[in-house]
Structures are given as structure tokens and as C-alpha cells.
Structure 1
Amino acid sequence: IKGAERAFSAMVKWYAALLGPVAVPLLFGMLYRRTTWRGALGAWLGGFVTFVACKYWLVGSVVRALTGHPPSDELAWTLYTGAELSVAFGIFLLEGRLGRMTEGEKRKVEALFAQLKGR
């Protein structure tokens, strides 16, 4: 069924658009203690906005300007996915370096990591 195939393809693309920026705080939050909820939320929002900007405008415009023709689907996917993950990761790390945790947040983070270590 032609319509169902297009709907499924769109659903997978939008799922990937949301999953990438969410995965950065989920995975790296277990390794990097300095980032707070603000970094996680900023990473998601920044990654999602980057996805939308790249998918619907930036990737096509830049590749067309550089090569004279539109990008293939594979190249476009690689560029907008890489961009969204890079932005999400950058925001996540930057907030951890520049932001400050409250004392309550510090206690919660230390308790979480102590529990993960089995203490």
C-alpha cells in the first residue's frame, strides 16, 4: 500500500528526530556528572530545532550551493542526523561546564552515582 509506506517512512524519520537528542542526555548523563536537567532539556530542544532546520532548509540549500544539485537521501540523512547529534552533545557538555548545580542537585547526583556503584 503506497500511502501506508509513506506514512511509515515519515513516522520513522520523526521518531529518529526525537530519539537522537533524547539519547544524548540519557546515555551521557550516566557518565558526565556535571550537567543538570537544564542541559538535558537544552540538548533535546537544540537537537530537535537543528533537525528541523537542517532537514527542511539548511542541508538542501548548502549541498545545492556547493555541488549544483540536491543531496541524495542518504547524504541528507547523514548530514541532518550528524548535525542534530553534534548540537545536542555540544549543548549538553557546555551546560555542564558553564552551569552550576544547586546543593540539592549535587546531593541527588552523588546519591545516584553511589547507588549505581552499589554503595
Structure 2
Amino acid sequence: MNKRKTGSRYEDQAAAFLEKQGLLVIERNFRCKSGEIDLVARDGKYLVFVEVKYRSSGGNGYASAAVDWHKQKRISRAASFFLIRYGYREPPCRFDVVAIDGQQIRWIKNAFDYCE
């Protein structure tokens, strides 16, 4: 299976997991010049930008470790563009990570702060 199909499969899995937790997924694979956001969801009053990472095993480290400062910065820029594009006026936002290691799903709320 190619990387795009694999990524899509695990993003679908993450979206279903988050919806079971009560979030409403409003956008998938938002892309702009600044970067990409895997999922955008609503969690009560919060607009949540979600990065989904998958690792088949721990041999290459944990999935969550792949969301480094550079990735956080790209996600933050894309989130700013998302807010402007859709006319949001300073909603409370959060950056979460759904890390899938093998069959284990970990949802890390507030995984990082906005990076300028």
C-alpha cells in the first residue's frame, strides 16, 4: 500500500475515534501553501486542529515524536490560514495529535501551542 493510501486509512481511523469521543470533524486534509492539517474538528467551544501520525512499530520511534517543532510550525501557519479563509474571529483553538502506534491509538489533547 502506498503512503497516501496508508495515511488516508489512518486519518479515517483517527476521525472515527475522535467522533466516538464526541468531536465533530468539519474538515479533512485542509491544504494551503503553508502546509496541511489532517483533521479540523469541533470539541465544544474549541476549534481543534489535529495531526495524525502512524507508526507500524516502535522501531522508528513513537508516532507522536514525529510532530517536531518544524511540523508544529507548519501546522500553526496552516491553521492561521484556515481561520482567515473561513472567517473565524479568534475562536478558542487547540492543537491535538492522534498517534497510532501499531494498533494503539493515543489522543494527545493540547499537544503543542501555536508556533510563530
Structures share a fold, TM > 0.5?
Answer: no
More helix by share: 1
More strand by share: 2
When Rg is computed on C-alpha atoms for both structures, the one with the higher figure is 1
When normalised by structure 1's length, the TM-score is 0.30
